[in-house]
Amino acid sequence: MNKYKIYSVFFLFLIFISCKKEGTGGKAQVSGFIIYNGNRVPGAVVYIKYGATTFPGDNPTSYDSQQTADSQGNFVFGSLVTGSYYLYAIGHYTYPNLGFVNVTGSTAVNIPHTKSTVNYDIAVTQ
């Protein structure tokens, strides 16, 4: 009887440690571009919220991590596990010789597989 208790406890322990919620520690990634009126927005800040399917709000402290888009408006969040995420972008689009406008946008993201690379462009508006 003690033998079965030990096996049961060990089995439950394995189930517990194998369950991983959304976040880092995996081999998946989310990448994309920040797009305003068909143009890429370089230098925009992209925030990510783990385990979210709805907009967490525009307060940056509500998010788990952030990245700055490169000079082509590209962003990448790597080392993620399967699950749901929410992306929120804030930036400035500069019109040649006319100045800039503040832009924001967001999108829900789903990573379906452990080693997925999913692409989600974020459309931003004024």
Whole-number pLDDT of residue 21: 62
List helix spans (H) across the chain.
2-18
Let me know if residue 8 belongs to a domain.
no
Domain count, the chain: 1
Three-state SS at 61: helix
- CATH, residue 101: 2.60.40.10
Mean pLDDT in residue range 18-28? 74
Quickly state the pLDDT bin for 106 (edges 50, 70, 90). Answer: very high
The residue range of the domain holding 118 is 22-123
Quickly state the pLDDT bin for 10 (edges 50, 70, 90). Answer: very low
The model's pLDDT over 52-103, given as tens digits with 9 standing for 90+, comes to: 999 999 999 999 999 999 999 999 999 999 999 999 999 999 998 889 999 9
- C-alpha span between 8 and 5 (Å, rounded): 5
For the chain, what is the mean pLDDT? 87
- C-alpha span between 44 and 93 (Å, rounded): 9
Let me know if residue 64 belongs to a domain.
yes
- C-alpha span between 50 and 119 (Å, rounded): 17
